[in-house]
Structure 1
Amino acid sequence: MPGTLAEKFCFVQSAIPKNITKTLIDRAHSGKRFVRKIGDPQWWEFDFVTPPLRYDEAMELYAFVCTQGGQYGSFFVPNLFPQIATGLSAKVAPNILVGADSFTLSSSNYMPGDFIQFSSHDKAYLVTNVTSTHVSIYPKLKAAVGSGSPIKYGEDVLFKVSLQNDENDLLIDAKKGKYSSVKLDLVEDI
């Protein structure tokens, strides 16, 4: 069972979310471009940098990273991005089929740019549009969601991730004394 990154390391100085999709591209001699997708591949990647940590904290985080076995292990990272919506009224999903890119709610105040997650699977989704009755998400739903499934949002979203590399190092900046920032390159593990 994957562990969860300790809450004390979930305050970041900077975070870069990356949306990764794969497109097959071929260009003819004439310059015409041919593009297609096989399936609907999509995952999130993140580059996180912590604020300066005390040496003991940096080494504790580094020890956690080392125990992951490089790209082999996976763990959960709480959503580090600020929640835009407040006072959400719709916290339970209707029945949603695989491949859907929106769902109906009788009332909601979700906001584009917020991440959500359905309790039935680990994938995180980005809210892209909201009307009075529909919430659009990206990417398309990867697994069916049963009626009544709780919808996680804000800090309740847990990204299941693994490290981007098998080699992970820690730079201790001598100029900062006993403080160091730690950079983590993570990829969603779906």
Structure 2
Amino acid sequence: MSGAFPISTAKFQSLGIKSIQNTIISKSQSGKKLVRQIDNQRFAFSVRVITAKRSDVYGELMAFIMKQRSSKENFTIIPPEIEDARGTETGTVLVNGVHAVGDTTIAMDAFAGDGAGRFKAGDFLKFASHNKVYMVVADATSSSNASTVTIEPPLITALADDSVVTYDNVAFTVHLTNDIQEFGVVGADKDGALLYQFEFDVEETL
């Protein structure tokens, strides 16, 4: 692991979110669709960093990217806007019971309150001791401080009872996907200082 992003003042100007799931599709002579998925789902991001001077942002940013040694190292990234859940939950939510690889309905308890929308569809979740991030795919309603939450993709690692569920400031563990990283000068400010721009692509590390 080699650090966390964003660093210092290297803020995002734009962010593209991708879901990658390699799927093989074929058809029988009768026209029936045959489907097989050959690996685990993972998220990926395309990021553009704000245009700024080397002294303000890009010196530190260049050093951070160099530390990644192309795609060799992993780092964490907390994407803006989507890092916090849209739901109303504020407590320390726990997994209720054990859950096996492949499960998509996860029993949880210790919600701070009851009612609809504790988690909302599209919220991201991460479980203690897991690198993988999951998405809530249906609004969660709690009763007696408990709820069953539907997620995708299916669990790739079993869950232990009372595992803590992170739903705000969810950090994705990622790696760079390109061997060449280019920092471009796109102009200058009113004092003649060069302004840099940088775009990069990352993919979730499982």
Point out where structure 2 has 5 or more consecutive residues left out of the alignment: 142-146
Count of equivalent residues: 188
Q: Among 107, 118, 123, which residue is 1:114 paired with?
A: 123
Closer, same or farther: CA 34–179 of 1 in aligned 2, 3 Å: same
Amino acid aligned to 1:168:
Q
- Alpha-carbon separation, structure 1, partners of 2:187 and 2:44: 30
Summarize deviations over 1:107-147 as a string: whole Å, max 9, x none: 56011111110012100011111242321111111111111
Q: 2:44 corresponds to which letter in structure 1? A: E
Instruction: For residue 174 of structure 1, report the CA deviation from its aligned partner.
Output: 2.1
Residue 65, structure 1, aligned to residue 68, structure 2 = no
Aligned to 2:2: 2
Segments of 5+ residues of structure 1 without an aligned counterpart are: none
SS of 1:63's equivalent in the other structure is helix
Whether the 8 Å CA contact 2:21–2:37 is kept in 1: the answer is no
Q: 1:90–1:105: 8 Å Cα contact kept in structure 2?
A: no
Which residue number corresponds to residue 88 of structure 1?
90
In the other structure, the counterpart of 1:171 is 184
Matched, 1:153 2:167: yes
Tell me the distance in 2 between the aligned counterparts of 1:160 and 1:126: 15
The residue that corresponds to 2:135 in the other structure is: 126
Higher share of residues assigned helix: 1
- Residue of structure 2 in register with 1:50 after alignment: 49
Larger strand percent: 2
1:180 pairs with 2:193 = no
- Computed over aligned residues only, the root mean square deviation of the Cα atoms, in angstroms, reads 2.4
Mean alpha-carbon deviation: is it higher for 95-104 or for 36-45? 36-45
Q: Pick closer, same or farther for the CA change 1:73–1:151 going to 2, 3 Å.
A: same
More moved, 118-127 vs 2-11: 2-11
TM superposition shift of 1:47: 0.5
Retained in 2: the 8 A contact 1:92–1:148? yes
Change (3 A) 1:20 1:151: same
> Given residue 41 of structure 1, which amino acid in structure 2 is its aligned partner?
N
Residue 40 (structure 1) shift: 5.1
Larger Rg belongs to: 2
More divergent stretch after superposition (62-71 vs 76-85): 76-85
The TM-score normalised by the length of structure 2 is: 0.80
> In structure 2, the residue corresponding to 1:44 is in which secondary structure?
strand
Aligned to 2:144: none
Q: For structure 1, which segment, 180-189 or 138-147, has the greater mean C-alpha deviation from structure 2 after superposition?
A: 180-189
Shift in Å at residue 170 of structure 1?
Answer: 0.8
Partner residue, 1:100: 103
Identical aligned pairs, as a percentage? Answer: 23
